[in-house]
Amino acid sequence: MILDVDNLTIRFPFGRELRPVVRGVSFQVAPGEILGVVGESGCGKSITNLAVLGLLPPGAQVTADRFALCGQDLLAVGRRDWPTVRGSKVAMIFQNPMSALNPSLTIGTQLIESVRKADPALGRRQREARAIELLEQVGIGAAALRLKSYPHELSGGMAQRAMIAMALASRPALLIADEPTTALDVTIQAQILDLLDRLRRDNGMSVILVSHDIGVVQQYADRIQVMYSGEIVETGPIGQVTQTPSHPYTRALLQSLPGRVGARPKTPLVTIRGMVPPIELAIEGCRFASRCDRAEAQCQDRPPVARRTADSWVRCHL
């Protein structure tokens, strides 16, 4: 397994106490696989990934029965060693590429710096050649010229491609893409997602694709993980979960998709009533109960335990 997570809990300081914000999540990412992670904002998707990257804010506490990236125990990585982990095993791209690029430096300067960090032994010419190769890999034409461009001279889609090139410089085993296309036009979105799909096939890289849009994940992911208020409520192969969802929250997310499969034209979109409870709030029963149209008395009283089958599980009393 590239990423192996068992019973991961993340606590943040609130005043003088530590409260769980991600509660006992377990999942795995296989080589070359795209794991799609969905859920509304405030469900703990990004926090979980920041833990994998060693980028949680100071004061956060991480516990787990197992938390390993390419066999390395992430619980044992000290503050000083995280840059090495990020520079070799895992890389990330974010929602807004423009804010992640330095506006005052050319793409070439920034990309060549990523190459230098990843391969310190390369000479100046070799670094430049590698940078050009990376731009070509992500589909940026006239790469040698593009090295001289500043971020403001690139479109949003180009800037995201440049970010992906920088992430690839270190040949990561795992790329975490957190809402990578949310800030882009629909046609550009598809191009970037197609690119990620091609890169994982060509390079054997695994991808965690985080999106609030289950439609995006449905199209690109091999497996899906549905998060709700700091927990994984359902996980499994993409076809199984999207065709026969077991958890009421997964069902609601699918019903809120425009143009969903099987929907009659003009069927009103279902929106999920209510809001995600604050992630740090202690709740006795099921965390989805206040919004669930199938909630029963037991749902308020005790938290549902995950029911597992071979490669899927669901956390619901029904």
User: Which of 44, 108, 157, 304 touches ligand SF4 by CB under 6 A?
Assistant: 304
Q: Which does 299 bind (CB under 5 to 8 A by kind): ligand SF4, Mg ion, none?
A: ligand SF4
Task: Identify which of residues 62 and 70 has a Cβ nearer to Mg ion in the complex.
Answer: 62
* Terminal-to-terminal C-alpha distance of the chain: 31
Asked if 3 is part of the footprint of ligand SF4 (rule: CB under 6 A), the reply reads: no
Q: Work out the angle at residue 51's Cα, subtended by the Cα atoms of residues 45 and 55, and round it to the nearest 5 degrees.
A: 110
Least distance (Å) between residue 318 CB and ligand SF4:
5
Q: Which does 316 bind (CB under 5 to 8 A by kind): Mg ion, ligand SF4, none?
A: ligand SF4
**Do strands 61-63 and 90-93 pair parallel, antiparallel, or not at all (unpaired)?**
unpaired
> Tokens at residue 102, please?
């330095």
Distances (CA, A) of 2 to 33, 162, 206, 238: 9, 25, 8, 19
Identity of the residue, 94 or 150, whose beta carbon is nearer to Mg ion in the bound complex: 94
Q: Which position has the token pair 């769980």? A: 20
Binding partner selected for residue 318 from Mg ion, ligand SF4, none, CB under the kind-specific 5 to 8 Å limit? ligand SF4
Is the Cβ–Cβ distance between 45 and 217 less than 8 Å? no
Q: How many CA atoms lie within 13 A of 268 on its CB side?
A: 3
Q: What minimum distance in Å lies between the beta carbon of 249 and ligand SF4?
A: 6
CA pair distance 29, 110, nearest whole angstrom: 30
User: Using CB under 6 A, which of the segments 48-56, 121-129, 269-277, 291-299 binds ligand SF4?
Assistant: 291-299
Cα separation, 208 vs 223, whole angstroms: 10
- Tokens 């990578």 identify what position? 180
Position 46 contacts Mg ion (CB under 5 A): yes
Residue 200, contacted partner among Mg ion, ligand SF4, none, CB below 5-8 A by kind: none
> What x-and-dash track marks residues 98-127 binding Mg ion by CB under 5 A?
------------------------------
Instruction: For residue 252, count other CB atoms closer than 10 A to its CB.
Output: 19
Q: Which of residues 228-257 bind ligand SF4 (CB under 6 A)?
A: 248
User: 91 vs 292, which CB is nearer to ligand SF4?
Assistant: 292
Please state the φ and ψ torsions of residue 176, each to the nearest 5 degrees: -100, 120
**Contacting positions for ligand SF4 (CB under 6 A):** 248, 286, 288-289, 292, 294-295, 299, 304, 316-318
**Contacting positions for Mg ion (CB under 5 A):** 46
